[in-house]
Structure 1
């Protein structure tokens, strides 16, 4: 396959392991774009306002999404909260909910109800393991005087290296150190990579709010490491766009920029980034295969637990 000379490439519909579809009018706008972008299965994040902390809320949210676009498979998650108990985990599993998302308090959009200490949730995690459910970790901790938030990605994930739970690293891997953190963990830990972090670097977002997201794009070296991980993933990395739509008029705020990029055409963005990576010599053309692309875009079929 001569990747750089291809004008047409046929791939199965993709699985996006990290999307924010919001609710209300915004959800009505963005949910129909899922299939338009070449995706037919998505893992939906629960950080709405209020957060999705009960099975009933989660199922009602899924019903609202299905009413907008019924031809998408919505994998749903609960927001890790003090109200989540082992009984709730069992109820969620029975209802077909895929996992639970952990947000450390105060680190990202709508995370004010997030976790301060994990010790109280050990019984919850034990029950999730029994039920073969996914624990999604937002791998970021609040800034301290000695560490800016931009450098904190991956530290939370490193603390989970001994856990038998299946974890998806979320927010996505955006730098070489985060990739190394995933690889250092056991085989039940995987990482997601966005489309936009394969193209954007610091200079792109520093002066443009429409390129600004959290976690922010890093250095060209980090971007290139992500491109290499796409083609050398060995089942450890796959697509998770972290698509996070914001109202265009509010994206550039008076006091701060809204964090988030919506990648509605994610498959095309990834292929474009790979083509440019080949041209720069970051990845070799012979490394890019249909099998490898199908694994990255359809990683959910291989790594989600409990699948037959």
Structure 2
């Protein structure tokens, strides 16, 4: 039996979004709800990075000005200026978590971490206060150690285990998992450790991004068996993994212009539809079965499990309580691009291809 052609679901919650700032934010923030999402967990890797409570609050105000109907959950950037006192201030101010980036490995990560042990006092304070540690779980390439972008995530996993063992009550999210090894590592940890899965990693393997700049992201998509592991984790984890799109807009000039290609895939306008399309294609390949895709699964992965992990209530500012979406198999085609002021143009994932449609109930 194929998938149903229509699902009515609670509004989705995306626990990993890049909304940028300025003109780019003005172009992409309106696409949050377009994708069926009313809760956005906002990444702090602006320039300069968001490292203080006042910066996070000001950033949130700018986002609310662009679209006040979304609940924005704000984060700080793990940085040498983050101290236990900053953690306590962040908790009082309603900051949801602190994001760790490995130095220099992805967009705006020049101020990232080189030594996790140096932040153990910060992690202890986060554990005590209940802030979430969000980890971009990769090691920097080191050819002497045989580390490249293909095994950077697997090389990081011992560090995840070490942090979890030292701080067992610290809630940790291994962001944008891409490998079977990452799935196993998250599953082997206690209930305080979860993982997010993007929409695009449910589609892509290495062959897809090797020749297409609009499929290139960090961490890169890996092997077919890794994609299979993500799909199986999706349909069987019951809360250990949930949606974090890592939607990362870049102007077309940064993707196709001279110099290094910017890492990032833009999925925000079709966040929920892409998930249904990915599941449909996975069923057609025989990776999963249609009976595994239930109403309960979709409600959990697309928001329920993440809301529970983060303690997000429907009544929080921004999104209206009890909002619902309808996702349908129609003739929706992904737009060729999204344009903003100043000549900004962002190309979405799978442009020109069919996907599901989403509307607000």
The answer to whether 1:159 aligns with 2:157 is: no
* In structure 2, distance between residues paired with 1:238 and 1:306: 14
Q: The residue matched to 2:8 in structure 1 has which SS?
A: coil
Q: The residue matched to 1:88 in structure 2 has which SS?
A: helix
* In structure 1, distance between residues paired with 2:114 and 2:228: 34
* In structure 1, distance between residues paired with 2:312 and 2:210: 42
Contact kept, 8 Å, 1:17 with 1:43, in 2: the verdict is yes
The answer to whether 1:194 aligns with 2:194 is: no
* In structure 2, distance between residues paired with 1:31 and 1:67: 10
Q: The residue matched to 2:153 in structure 1 has which SS?
A: coil
Aligned ranges 1:73-152 → 2 under 5 Å: 73-145=71-143, 146-152=146-152
Q: The residue matched to 2:164 in structure 1 has which SS?
A: coil
* In structure 1, distance between residues paired with 2:312 and 2:276: 30
Instruction: Find the counterpart in structure 2 of residue 273 from structure 1.
Output: 278
Give the C-alpha shift of residue 159 in structure 1.
3.1
Instruction: Find the counterpart in structure 2 of residue 213 from structure 1.
Output: 217
* In structure 2, distance between residues paired with 1:92 and 1:161: 22
Q: Over aligned residues, Cα RMSD in angstroms?
A: 1.5
Match of 1:282 among 262, 277, 287: 287
* In structure 2, distance between residues paired with 1:123 and 1:161: 14
Q: The residue matched to 1:22 in structure 2 has which SS?
A: coil
The answer to whether 1:256 aligns with 2:254 is: no
Contact kept, 8 Å, 1:14 with 1:41, in 2: the verdict is yes
* In structure 2, distance between residues paired with 1:64 and 1:127: 29
Contact kept, 8 Å, 2:3 with 2:290, in 1: the verdict is no
Contact kept, 8 Å, 2:283 with 2:289, in 1: the verdict is yes
**Structure 1 unaligned runs (5+)?**
none
Give the C-alpha shift of residue 307 in structure 1.
6.7
Give the C-alpha shift of residue 129 in structure 1.
1.0
TM-score by length of 1: 0.95
* In structure 1, distance between residues paired with 2:15 and 2:256: 27
Contact kept, 8 Å, 2:3 with 2:280, in 1: the verdict is no
- Number of aligned residues: 305
Runs of 4+ in 1 over 3 A off after TM superposition: 305-308
Structure in which a larger fraction of residues adopt strand: 2
Contact kept, 8 Å, 1:53 with 1:84, in 2: the verdict is yes
* In structure 2, distance between residues paired with 1:104 and 1:216: 15
Give the C-alpha shift of residue 149 in structure 1.
2.5
* In structure 2, distance between residues paired with 1:157 and 1:220: 24
**Structure 2 unaligned runs (5+)?**
315-361
Structure having greater relative contact order (Cα 8 Å, sep ≥ 6)? 2
Q: The residue matched to 1:40 in structure 2 has which SS?
A: strand
* CA deviation profile, 1:34-59 (whole Å, cap 9, x unmatched): 00100000111101000000000000
* In structure 2, distance between residues paired with 1:93 and 1:83: 16
